[in-house]
Chain A
Amino acid sequence: MGRIELKQVKKSFGDVTVIPPLDLEIEDGEFVVFVGPSGCGKSTLLRLIAGLEDTTDGNIEIDGSDATGLPPAKRGLAMVFQSYALYPHMSVRKNIAFPMRMAKLPKEEQDRRIESAAKALNLTDYLDRRPGQLSGGQRQRVAIGRAIVREPAAFLFDEPLSNLDAALRVGMRLEISELHKRLDTTMVYVTHDQVEAMTMADKIVVLQAGVIEQVGSPLDLYRTPRNKFVAGFIGSPKMNLIEGPEAARHNAHTMGIRPEHITVSSESGDWTGTVGVSEHLGSDTFFHVNVEGFGEPITVRAGGDVDLHYGDTIYLTPDPALIHRFDDKGLRIA
């Protein structure tokens, strides 16, 4: 079991409130991702759940019982840190065994769990090495192994992939998702990378300045962002946000259209612009287009074979059904 509930949880450091009172429910077995720009309080929120920070106010319940005052070890949660936080003076085997040694588990049980974790994480050949002799990805797997053997109610991940290179990151992303499917245990995952959030989460919590901007499934957030912030944060490349007369024409203060929801033509369209920088990804091409009357350049996605160059005239047509409208406070207009 691993149901976590935050009730009016607040955190201040001195006079500075980093997290104003917030409520959040994390269901058993769910993969929840906290996402937001740096400094939005997502890591602090995770550390509050872990018990590494004390709450200033409010309650944290784990599986229905109040855990607010409990020390980290008593909460039945396991954490994987950004820096892996392995014990450098211990072998991989001893690192993984450490939580079980602290819990005074029988030696045979410890060995059994180490063997099975090592097998699942491809670490069997490295059990007698020190963390310093491992690659980044292997270290990350040791950290996960150390978390698994505790058989926790929930796993907490604090930006676990941000120290890995891009290729490894994609691989580990899949491994963690796979692990979640196999263990069926609650996972709370913090990242600033919205691609990680979109690909892994059952539920995304978007945070800004300690405030929850929106909670929902990845597609919910993509399709119906509640405000301009979520609209701009979720999706890659970012949604185009246009103000001024064009937005007014759609009865909005700001209109939003995603790059993939604009049709590109070299002959005719609603908007006329000139091609600026283009990014060729092979399968797709992203054009940054300067349209007269729009402050910022518009990003549009086209097929990989569209032959347009810097300075060419381009015609754009947004899909009317997929235009997002926001009022002057930045909130979505239904």
Chain B
Amino acid sequence: MARAVTTNRKILNTAIAWGIGLLIFFPILWTILTSFKTEAQAIADPPVFLFFDWTLENYAVVQERSNYMRFLMNSIIIAGGSTLLGLLIAVPAAWSMAFVPSRRTKDILLWMLSTKMLPAVGVLYPIYLIFIQLGILDTRVGLTVVLMLINLPIMVWMLYTYFKEIPGEILEAARMDGASLREEILYVLTPMAVPGIASTLLLNFILAWNEAFWTLNLTAAKAAPLTAFIASYSSPEGLFYAKLSAASTMAIAPILILGWFSQKQLVRGLTFGAVK
């Protein structure tokens, strides 16, 4: 039952929610604003908020100095590829865990999730060496595989929670109706799980897009995605805040727009199964 809330209380709650929201969003807003300032204004003290000479110069410089499109394409291919590849593995895995669980299924799920708690740097050396051995250092294929593996536990876990919500009786009905395992997954399970699969896809695309540790360490020039593009504007050339901000804005803009339009799907995906 909904609790009665007074109007004053509602206003206060709304104000607090907006306050927290702005606080979280502020760094991004500041980055975007800084990207339109000159380098001098960017480091001005006291800082200028809105009243400065808006300029697109930083964007022009960034575009001139590095090939944004190449980084963007790498990001799309690596994030998209790792997501699709992961889905191919995660759907059957989640199916078997949700519908034909064994006594160890829960343990396996937990173990898979526990790999996410391993500090990535702990396995950097072995993976780096394996990449050299296989000749896939600084290639899109290598990064796609690594990012897929990193996000696979989350994909399996998310799809598992989704599939768990699908009544087993419906799949049994399909079996009684003569569907083979392939037909059961293709005609019954997948169409019913489309919202779940979509939000898993979205979330993993975003995670892969934002992944910086592996993309920075395993690429140099050829396969470098947008994370490397931002990083290239940081330290050695001194403090070019405005240009760094412009590069950052260009790098986060695509995913920010994608996230904005798909927020309904994402929220549903992340909270699925939490309430009945």
Contact = CB atoms under 8 A, between A and B. Distances in A.
Contacts, number: 56
B184 to A, nearest CB: 10
A73 B172 CA distance: 10
A88 B192 contact: yes
A102 B167 contact: no
Contacts of B172: 52, 72, 79, 81, 85
B170 interface: yes
B191 interface: yes
B10 to A, nearest CB: 34
B169 A102 contact: no
Interface string A45-69: 0000010100000000000000000
Interface string B153-168: 0000000000000010
Contacts of B170: 85-88
Interface SS, B side: helix
Contact of B177 (A52, A88, A146): A146
* B: contact size bracket: 10 to 19
Nearest to A94: B187
> At the interface, is chain A mostly helix, strand, loop or mixed?
loop
Interface in B8-52: none
B196 to A, nearest CB: 13
A153 to B, nearest CB: 13
Interface in B188-202: 188, 191-192
A83 interface: yes
B175 A73 contact: yes
A102 B192 contact: no
Contacts of B188: 87
A103 B167 CA distance: 24
A99 interface: yes
A150 B187 CA distance: 18
Contacts of B207: none
B176 interface: yes
A73 B170 CA distance: 14
Given A83-B167, A83-B169, A102-B183, A89 B176 contact: no
A50 B187 CA distance: 22
B177 A150 contact: yes
B173 interface: yes
A89 to B, nearest CB: 4
B178 A103 contact: yes
Contact of A77 (B173, B176, B179, B191): B176
Interface of B: 167, 169-170, 172-179, 183, 187-188, 191-192
25 contacts: A52-B176, A71-B175, A72-B176, A73-B175, A73-B176, A73-B178, A77-B176, A79-B176, A81-B169, A81-B173, A83-B167, A83-B169, A85-B169, A85-B170, A86-B170, A86-B173, A87-B170, A87-B188, A87-B192, A88-B170, A98-B174, A98-B177, A99-B177, A102-B178, A146-B173
